[in-house]
């Protein structure tokens, strides 16, 4: 038995463990465990510094999970886009391939609570169905292997998945979404890395949410994956009390780059049942983005996205950088809130596609007219600059 498997056996994974370790009320502990299974492995448990800290909030159940918040169990309509139990096919050329229900630590903000930890809903017995579906759909060129955490599979079983995908001619890219480098970095072994090398290109997406997770063990795990030829990216979920602060996010992203991990996404927390206490106003995410771009390396600036409820997919949102745009110029502001004008290229009307208006302008006519009204009277550069300065967020 490998070290990571031994550590899993020592996890806190029952209501009784919560009662003994954290003095939970027994009835509350049982209700929480019934709602969404508890598992905290010893490595991640040891990262907790005090009750209620950012590591605690992510891993220790909270009575607020039992409150009726009116949110859906499947906010992203994954089940509606699932042609077979192991596949979600939402985008034209890529699919999500669920290969296990298990995780080494069950995140309390999980968007897939309805399935994760339940082997009747995500099971290895559905893997062949998933491979058959992908093989039958030549438009699929990018496969995201997820779960649960696919690295909960043994090297032997994971290789069966990767090998099966590589035998499908139209599959170009394999992505493995795993939180193991964060919550149980001991899972990243030389043997695992050697196996993955055989199936490139393989991309790894991981899930650091706070700088305290960027430990020496995590750094070693990420470097091993990078040395094995896997580009590693990070997807952070924005959460109240965990990372809803620009300085925290900046520190995390700088540490990630030193670990050879590219910050890829900041997700607005999903509207998933029993997680409402984690959600922040969208304004918070925009302010964080405003304090990243220009203030740190562009490599440390991810996309801020909302995974649209109902299955709309990931939609990037940005602070307001474009102040005005017409046929003659675009007016922009930079990270210092300085205003600049860029002269528009004069186009021959005959060269403009007939559907250009329907593709871009008519989707947001109110916004375009509103911007024109807002700055059409004071046309001087100084007046525009003054307007921008008024709208600059107050420094905290």
- Model confidence pLDDT, tens digit, residues 131-182: 999 999 999 999 999 999 999 999 999 999 999 999 999 999 999 999 999 9
- Per-residue pLDDT band for 58 (boundaries 50, 70, 90) equals very high
What average pLDDT does this structure show over 176-194?
A: 98
How far CA 233 is from CA of 71, 189, 204, 269, in Å, comes to: 29, 19, 6, 18
Among residues 16, 53, 81, 90, the one annotated as catalytic is 90
In the annotation, is 94 catalytic? yes
Among residues 13, 244, 290, 307, the one annotated as catalytic is 307
Inform me whether the pLDDT recorded for 374 exceeds 60. no
288 or 389: which leads in pLDDT: 288
Q: What are the two backbone dihedrals, phi and then psi, of residue 155, each rounded to the nearest 5 degrees?
A: -55, -40
- Per-residue pLDDT band for 392 (boundaries 50, 70, 90) equals low
DSSP 3-state assignment of 327?
coil
In the annotation, is 270 catalytic? yes
> pLDDT tens across 308-340, in order?
999 999 999 999 999 999 999 999 999 999 999
Q: How high is the mean pLDDT of the chain?
A: 91
- Per-residue pLDDT band for 377 (boundaries 50, 70, 90) equals very low
In the annotation, is 13 catalytic? no
In the annotation, is 141 catalytic? no
Residue-level pLDDT at 352: 67
**DSSP state letter for 293:** B
Among residues 13, 107, 222, 267, the one annotated as catalytic is 107
Among residues 13, 39, 108, 112, the one annotated as catalytic is 112
Residue-level pLDDT at 80: 95
Cα–Cα distance, 376 to 394 (Å, whole number): 26
Q: Please, which residues have CB within 8 angstroms of residue 131's CB and are 6 or more apart in sequence? A: 164, 165, 168
Inform me whether the pLDDT recorded for 343 exceeds 50. yes
198 conformational bin, left if phi > 0, alpha if psi -120 to 50, beta if neither: alpha
- Beta strands 339-343; 329-333: pairing state: antiparallel
Give the residue among 105, 117, 110 at the shortest CA–CA distance from 78. 110
Residue-level pLDDT at 381: 47
Residue-level pLDDT at 106: 97
Residue-level pLDDT at 349: 74
- Per-residue pLDDT band for 379 (boundaries 50, 70, 90) equals very low
> Under CATH, which architecture does the 79-316 domain have?
Alpha-Beta Barrel (3.20)
In the annotation, is 49 catalytic? no
In the annotation, is 112 catalytic? yes
- Per-residue pLDDT band for 247 (boundaries 50, 70, 90) equals very high
**Among 76-80, 188-192, 380-384, which stretch is predicted with the lowest mean pLDDT?**
380-384
Among residues 44, 74, 110, 264, the one annotated as catalytic is 110
Residue-level pLDDT at 347: 80
Among residues 43, 44, 94, 222, the one annotated as catalytic is 94
DSSP 3-state assignment of 294?
coil
Among residues 13, 74, 244, 270, the one annotated as catalytic is 270
| In the chain, ranges of CATH 3.20.20.70 domains | 79-316
Residue-level pLDDT at 384: 46
How far CA 114 is from CA of 75, 147, 296, 356, in Å, comes to: 11, 12, 38, 42
Inform me whether the pLDDT recorded for 363 exceeds 60. no
Residue-level pLDDT at 356: 53
Inform me whether the pLDDT recorded for 60 exceeds 80. yes
pTM: 0.88
Q: What is the dihedral of CA 358, 328, 386, 366, to 10 degrees?
A: -20
Among residues 121, 166, 314, 387, the one annotated as catalytic is 314
**DSSP state letter for 61:** -
367 or 158: which leads in pLDDT: 158
Determine the number of helices (DSSP H) and then strands (DSSP E) in the chain.
15, 12
In the annotation, is 74 catalytic? no
């Amino acid at each position: 038995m490998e070290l990571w498997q031994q550590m899993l056996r020592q996890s806190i994974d029952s209501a009784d463990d919560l009662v003994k370790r954290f003095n939970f009320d027994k009835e509350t502990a049982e209700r929480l465990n019934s709602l969404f299974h508890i598992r905290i492995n010893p490595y991640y448990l040891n990262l907790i510094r005090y009750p209620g800290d950012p590591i605690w909030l992510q891993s220790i159940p909270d009575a607020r999970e039992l409150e009726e918040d009116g949110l859906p169990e499947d906010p992203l309509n994954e089940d509606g886009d699932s042609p077979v139990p192991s596949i979600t096919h939402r985008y034209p050329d890529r699919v999500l391939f669920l290969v296990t229900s298990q995780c080494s630590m069950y995140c309390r903000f999980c968007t897939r609570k309805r399935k994760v930890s339940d082997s009747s809903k995500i099971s290895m017995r559905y893997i062949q169905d998933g491979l058959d579906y992908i093989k039958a759909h030549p438009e699929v060129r990018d496969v995201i292997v997820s779960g649960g955490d696919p690295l909960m599979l043994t090297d032997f079983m994971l290789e069966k998945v990767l090998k099966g995908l590589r035998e499908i001619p139209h599959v170009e890219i394999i992505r493995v979404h795993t939180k193991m480098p964060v919550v149980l970095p001991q899972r990243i072994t030389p043997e695992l890395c050697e196996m993955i090398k055989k199936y490139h290109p393989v991309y790894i997406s991981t899930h650091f949410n706070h700088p305290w997770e960027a430990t020496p063990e995590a750094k070693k795990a990420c470097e091993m994956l990078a040395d094995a030829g896997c580009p590693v990216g990070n997807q952070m979920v924005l959460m109240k009390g965990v990372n809803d602060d620009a300085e925290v996010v900046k520190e995390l992203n700088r540490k990630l780059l030193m670990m050879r991990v590219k910050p890829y996404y900041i997700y607005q927390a999903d509207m998933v049942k029993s997680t409402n206490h984690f959600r922040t106003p969208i304004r918070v995410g925009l302010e964080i983005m405003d304090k990243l771009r220009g203030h740190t390396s562009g490599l440390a600036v991810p996309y801020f996205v909302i995974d649209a409820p109902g299955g709309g997919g990931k939609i990037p949102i940005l602070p307001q950088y474009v102040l005005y745009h017409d046929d003659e110029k675009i007016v922009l502001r930079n990270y210092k809130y300085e205003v600049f004008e860029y002269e528009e290229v004069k186009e021959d009307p005959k060269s403009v596609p007939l559907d250009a208006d329907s593709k871009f302008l008519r989707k947001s006519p109110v916004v375009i007219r509103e911007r024109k009204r807002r700055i059409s009277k004071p046309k001087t550069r100084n007046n525009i600059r003054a307007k921008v300065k008024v709208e600059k967020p107050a420094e905290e």
